Each structure stands twice: as structure tokens, then as C-alpha cells.
Amino acid sequence: MAQGTVWWNELRTSDEKGATEFYTKLLGWGTFQLSASESGETAGAGAYTVWMTGWTQAGGMMRANGVAPGGAGWLPFISVNDVDECAQKASALGGVILEGPFDIPNSGRFAVLKDPQGAVFGIAKPLASE
């Protein structure tokens, strides 16, 4: 995955059931769920839903944790070559590191940032790009 490419889109919501109903009816997406242990989430975080368009993963969904404005929203993850270096650079440029950097087993290394204007986004180095 090339540096700077949007790699994954994640919906963080307080109503996972309602969001599943909405997006499956609106876009025809299918879903499957990973348990907290499969997705690398901490205990109590619940399952992680993966959005599917046919046999292709289209993104994911998890319970909102307060990072996204209003507690819910879409969070794009942008591919980078080095998550730790990029997070520190963002901080030096006036951004804020909200989560991480952290590893998710079988997925890669991630961080969630906020730019100086308040927009929240993620950065990732997926395992497939190593």
C-alpha cells in the first residue's frame, strides 16, 4: 500500500445494530464479526464488524469511544511507512495524538490523530505493506 493512500474506513458508533441496518439496506453491504480477541480490542470493547461488498472488505465498525466528534463518525485510516515517525511529525506540526501508536495482531500498527483544525483521522502501516 502506497504512503498517503486511504487504506481503511471505520465507522465508530454508539448504535452498532442501527448502523448495520442502515448501511446494509442503503449500500447492500454484508457484514461479519470478529470477536474482541480476534480484532485485538481490549476486554469489554465488544466485537468488531467488518463491512463487506461481495467478497471484498469495505471497512469496519466498532463501538464509539469518544474520539470521533460527537462520539460517532467515519474514521479514515491513511497508509504510512512508519506510524511512530508520522505520529511524532504530526504532533510537531501542531496535531494531537489521540490513540497509539499501537499494534493490532494480524493487522498492523495504528494511531489516531487530530489535525490542527480539529479533523480526526487514523494512520496505519498494514502488515500487507511490510
In this prediction, residues 59-83 reach a mean pLDDT of 81
Confidence check: pLDDT of 81 > 90: yes
Residue 72, burial from CB neighbour count under 10 angstroms (0-12, 13-18, 19+): middle
What's the whole-number mean pLDDT along residues 29-39? 74
**Residue 42: what pLDDT?**
46
pTM: 0.78
Q: How confident is the model at residue 45 (pLDDT cuts 50, 70, 90)?
A: low
Residue partners of 82: CB distance under 8 A and separation at least 6 = 125
Side-chain-side CA neighbours of residue 107 (13 Å): 23
What's the mean per-residue pLDDT of the chain? Answer: 85
Closest listed residue to residue 108, CA positions, set 74, 80, 89: 80
Give yes or no for residue 130 having a pLDDT over 50. no
- Output the pLDDT for position 38: 54
In the chain the domains, ranked by start, together with CATH numbers, are 6-129 (3.10.180.10)
Helix (H, G, I), strand (E, B) or coil at 73: strand
